[in-house]
Amino acid sequence: MNGNAQKLDPIKSSETPYEKQLKLVPKKKKSKWSNYKYGILFASPWILGLLIFYAIPLFSSIYFSFTTYSILQPGEFVGLQNYKDLLSDSLFWKSVYNTVYFAVFFVPLSIIFGVALAMMLNMKVKGMAIYRTIFFLPTLVPHVALAVLWMWLLNPGFGLVNGVLNTFGIEGPAWLGSVTWSKPSLIIMSLWGIGQAVIIYLAGLGDIPEDYYDAAKVDGANWYQKMRHITLPLLTPVIFFNLVMGIIAAFQQFTLPYTLTQGQGTPANSLTFYVMYLYDNGFKFFKMGYASAMAWILFVIIMALTALVFITSKRWVHYQGK
């Protein structure tokens, strides 16, 4: 979402020449309210929504994170105790590790595969609409169904994946049942659903003017040189957008690991993700103050990483016409 913020057109005054002209002519002053009435009236659902569903929860969440609040008891103010407790909570660190592991592998892989797929789908061959549809279909599968489907595909005994590996004489691992392979399994099934990012890359590729390639052709550039010096640099704004979105989504991973493990994070907590542990604390153990502290740490991590990407982006993101 950040990518948008930067490219937003400056908020223009909606004053039109007609209105400017009106200003020159002295006129009877109408009350301010009648001028603004409709604007505020039209925006009023959101003004209320912003307060009720965002502002008040946001601030009460900060407060809760300093208390032992639970739905069962009012709780008391404990200052930074929740945060201190988290630092010595080994399952908290385990969930951080699992989440970071997933993000570190999934986000770069999704960019590499996403860009590669988009380039393939940007070739000029017949029937491309069909290919594009096929790559997009997996993103339409609801996450719970996706998890159930992949549990079956990766079933160690009767699953298709190990069946195929078997025909090549490879004995497949236990996938979701194995501490080593559970997170890679999650990465594989997440990569299956990258169609949405691919669509955005495709739009980015479509925005690159054909002239650049024509000029490169005249200069005798080969395929690799064109990709290295035209396609990739001009795709960086889109890569930047998907990178930010990918990081945010990776840290909020919940539905897939929850469904895959019935909320248990098995085996040996190798699939206990950050938000899963947060959910357990808040709604299983009713430690809502503790869970709120976790939510704020998550917020800070996401903000910090997004800021980091933004700061470095000046070095590697090239906007056309600059």
Subset of 143-182 contacting other proteins (CB under 8 A): 143-145, 148-153, 155, 157-160, 163, 166-167
How many residues bind other proteins (CB under 8 A)? The answer is 106
Instruction: Name the minimum Å distance from CB 259 to other proteins.
Output: 5
282 contributes a contact to other proteins by CB under 8 A? yes
Q: Which of 102, 106, 241, 273 is the binder for other proteins (CB under 8 A)? A: 241
200 contributes a contact to other proteins by CB under 8 A? yes
283 contributes a contact to other proteins by CB under 8 A? yes
Instruction: Name the minimum Å distance from CB 98 to other proteins.
Output: 16
21 contributes a contact to other proteins by CB under 8 A? no
Query: Near other proteins by CB under 8 A, which window of 48-56, 90-98, 100-108, 168-176?
Result: 48-56
Please report which residue ranges of the chain form alpha helices under DSSP H: 2-7, 17-24, 32-49, 56-65, 81-87, 90-120, 128-136, 143-153, 160-167, 182-192, 195-206, 210-218, 223-226, 232-251, 255-260, 274-279, 288-316
Helix (H, G, I), strand (E, B) or coil at 67: strand
Structure tokens at 258: 């929850």
225 contributes a contact to other proteins by CB under 8 A? no
12 contributes a contact to other proteins by CB under 8 A? yes
Q: Which CA distances in Å does 57 have to 115, 195, 232?
A: 38, 34, 42
257 contributes a contact to other proteins by CB under 8 A? no
31 contributes a contact to other proteins by CB under 8 A? no
How many other C-beta atoms are found inside a 10 Å radius of the C-beta of residue 243? 22
**77 phi, psi to nearest 5 deg:** -75, 125
Q: Which of 2, 68, 81, 266 is the binder for other proteins (CB under 8 A)? A: 2
Instruction: Name the minimum Å distance from CB 116 to other proteins.
Output: 9
Write the single-letter amino acid at 13: S
DSSP assignment of 172-189 equals: ---GGGSTTTHHHHHHHH
Instruction: Name the minimum Å distance from CB 159 to other proteins.
Output: 7
Q: Which of residues 77-116 bind other proteins (CB under 8 A)?
A: none
Q: What angle do CA 11, 15, 16 make, to 5 degrees?
A: 125
Query: Near other proteins by CB under 8 A, which window of 14-22, 214-222, 225-233, 310-318?
Result: 14-22
304 contributes a contact to other proteins by CB under 8 A? no
* Residues 6 or more apart in contact with residue 4 via CB below 8 angstroms: 241
Of 147 and 181, CB closest to other proteins: 147
236 contributes a contact to other proteins by CB under 8 A? no
- Rg value, the chain, Cα: 26
Of 178 and 259, CB closest to other proteins: 259
Query: Near other proteins by CB under 8 A, which window of 77-85, 92-100, 140-148, 314-322?
Result: 140-148
Cα–Cα dist 185/243, whole Å: 21
